[in-house]
Structure 1
């Protein structure tokens, strides 16, 4: 007959609950896996499977009772670590959608909005197009598998424990977010430059021929130039996404090391 004590049961639960909290927080805040279209059962099931795979590889260490005050503190740490990892990667998607938003407004498509069920809001059509393109590139480049590998490595950089969180780690994530919004502006600059030149040419044309209906002629020309510039930019999105994602993983690695006090 198999018998075990309450202390052993608590230790077994602790080895599963703490990694599960970090993994669930990452899945909930990460792109694609954290979308509302993904059922909650799928998210929980995937997190549980990943926990069963990762938990045996963690270093053996005494863990506090999850029901104690110390255990709740450790549980909160794991949730914060997972949320910051997913948030750092989701910022890439937000930056590229921001670039599409800027480009769409310059093209005159600021009024063309579609309902985005993921964020429960209305999104400009160019931003939604780039968001779908980035999501497909994210899967095609196997970056979702790289994200899960970084999750497994995070338990080595920031092992489960009750050490206090370092405030400098959150500054690293904030700086990463600031650089990404600059990246979004740089991504939209080719379209902005092309449309600026088009608008200047249309302005000169209007001054030289006042009888010309600028609204009937300018809008189709602006759209054509905008879509042409967008077609030239699209092939470079996948390499830029891969580069940005590698930088995101480096940021996550530094964040985890700083959380661990290194």
Structure 2
């Protein structure tokens, strides 16, 4: 191998590992992971992001790696996991919002009403899909996709690809991520559950005082109307929660990837 080839190979490996990290993000990040998005387009986007990001970073990949294919495979796997972790945590507030919407739809009596999600190509609750689309709109409105890409670039500085240290710490703050997701889901759902509970209590009293009234016929439209009313009332709060947590979960992801050094 000539001197020029010796100098070029580490740079090539650095760009390859950087691209693998961006590919991992593409398979879990919002919108980019949609099955409706062609796979070649995802690879091309990862390639362009790699060219844009890696040029300003250090490319000193140790040459010892080229004598050990096992290390190269392990490094590639680590980069894929780091990118997937960043994309998943960036999408977690949207998934929490969608699942909360499905729970809200069940409490409203709309569990049988579902639509086809064009992004994931699966049947989802109409309220969950509505919540997800609202969250997606605000996600792009607040440049969440740019924050996510910036987080991957920042992770390349915190955990440069191609380092020899392959030890993995399992203390990635998983409990903290799950705790934040659980608290966020409760903050989304509790107003609806409180309103539906009050409606059920009122219908119960009505059933006791007016036994001849058909509560089942009255209850369903009442819960649907009440659910949509609460949905409109808490929309500003939902927007505020999304604004707080999109960047917070991306910061959690950056804190987590530092454990992979």
Tell me the number of residue pairs that the alignment of Structure 1 and Structure 2 aligns: 257
Q: Which runs of 5+ in 2 are unaligned?
A: none
Where relative contact order (Cα < 8 A, 6+ residues apart) is larger, the structure is 2
> CA-to-partner distance for each residue in 1:155-198, whole Å, 9 max, x for gaps?
1111121312432343x135303420231122110011011101
Report the counterpart of residue 223 of structure 1 in structure 2.
Answer: 224
Local SS of the residue matching 2:183: helix
8 A Cα contact 1:66 1:75, kept in partner: no
Give the unaligned 5+ runs of structure 1.
none
State the distance in 2 between where 1:146 and 1:66 align: 37
Q: 1 CA distance for matches of 2:247 and 2:216? A: 44
Cα distance in 1 between the residues matched to 2:237 and 2:94: 15
Work out the CA distance in 2 between the residues paired with 1:197 and 1:66: 68
Q: Residue 55 of structure 2 aligns with which residue? A: 56
- Indicate the residue corresponding to 1:88 in structure 2: 89
**C-alpha distance 119-174 of structure 1, shift in aligned 2 (>3 A):** farther
Normalising by structure 2, report the TM-score: 0.91
Return the alpha-carbon distance in structure 1 between the equivalents of residues 69 and 229 of structure 2. Answer: 61
Aligned Cα RMSD in Å?
1.9
Bigger mean CA deviation after superposition, 38-47 or 197-206: 38-47
Matched residue of 1:167: which SS? coil
The answer to whether structure 1 residue 16 and structure 2 residue 15 are counterparts is yes
Residue 256 of structure 1: how far off its partner (Å): 2.0
Which TM-score applies when normalising by structure 1? 0.91
Matched, 1:204 2:210: no
TM-superposed deviation, 1:222: 1.2
Residues 121-175 of structure 1 show CA distances to partners (whole Å, capped at 9, x for unaligned) of 32111101101111111111111111111111111111121312432343x1353
